[in-house]
Amino acid sequence: MRKKIIAGNWKMNLTPDQASTLVRETWEEIQGIDGVDVVVCPPFICIPTVREILDEYSINMHLGAQNMHWEESGAYTGEISPVMLKFYGVSHVIIGHSERRQYFGETDQAVNRKVLSALSHDLTPIMCVGESLKERDDGHTKDVVVAQVKRGLFEVMKDVVRRVVIAYEPIWAIGTGKAASAEDAQEVASLIREVLSEIYDEDTSREIRIQYGGSVSPENISDFMSMPDIDGALVGGASIKSESYATLVRLA
Ligand code: 13P
C-alpha cells in the first residue's frame, strides 16, 4: 500500500511571518488526520521559521524545499546545499519543477545530479516531469515524460529509488485553472509506472509514489485520488491558503 502524499509548493510566495501563520492555521484544521503524508515547501528563507513552528506546536507535517544544489558546499553563488537543508530538518525536496527547467535552464542532467545528491543525503526527492502544451498538441506527451523519467533516474539504484516521489505536472495545467482530466493524468501515471517496471522491476515500480500536479483544487482532488496510479498531489495556488490546503489533505 502506497501512503498518500500531498505536498504544497508555495513557490515564491509568503514572508516568514505569513508562513508561520499559514502553517499554524492549516494544522488547526488537519490535526488528527492520519494516513497521508503532508509536506510544505516554503521558500528557502521561510524554512527556519517553519521549522520552529513545526517543533513548537508538535506539528506532524514534513518540511520540504523547492530546489537545491547537488554539491554540499562551494563557490555557487545564490545556491543552497543539501547539508544546509538537513540542518533545518528538511526531509523532502522538489527537483526539476517545470518553472526551474523553463526559467532557470535546468536540464535533465542537472535534475539527475540533484536526485542522486538528495538520495545520498537521505532527502526524499519529488522529481517533476511533464509536457508543454505544444508537446501535448504534437502528440509527444508520452515520449517527453518517458525521457524525463529515464534521464532523471539515470544511475539511481533500485534499493533507493523507492524513496523517490514522481510528480506528473503537465506544464499547461500549472496555474491556469485548467487541470488535466483525472483519466488523462492516470494514463500518464500508469505509463510512468510501466517505465519504472522496465528500468527496475514490477515490485519496485509498485512501491514508488506518483503525484499529479497542475490546478489541483478542493473541487477536483477526489477525482485524481480515486485513480489507481495517482498517490497524491503537488499543489501550488491551493496550498497557500489554509482552508483550501486543509480541505485537500482531508479529501486525500
Ligand atoms: P498550481 O496548483 O498553482 O497549478 O501549481 C502546480 C505546481 O506547479 C505545483 O508544483
Is the CB of residue 145 less than 8 Å from the CB of residue 192?
yes
Active site residue 97: yes
Helix (H, G, I), strand (E, B) or coil at 69: coil
Average pLDDT, the chain: 98
CA 213 to ligand 1 center in whole angstroms: 6
Q: How many domains does the chain have?
A: 1
* 101, 127, 174: residue to mutate for ligand 1 pocket, most atoms within 8 A of CB: 174
Using a 6 Å cutoff on CB, does residue 8 contact ligand 1?
no
Residue 180 lies in domain: 4-251
Between CA 178 and CA 228 the distance in angstroms is 22
Q: What is the pTM of this model?
A: 0.98
pLDDT tens across 28-49, in order? 999 999 999 999 999 999 999 9
Counting from 1 in the atom list of ligand 1, the atom nearest the Cα of 214 is 4
pLDDT for 124 equals 98
CATH of residue 129's domain is: 3.20.20.70
Band of the pLDDT at 1, cuts 50, 70, 90? confident
Using a 6 Å cutoff on CB, does residue 126 contact ligand 1?
no
Q: What angle do CA 130, 120, 43 make, to 5 degrees?
A: 55
The number of residues in the chain equals 252
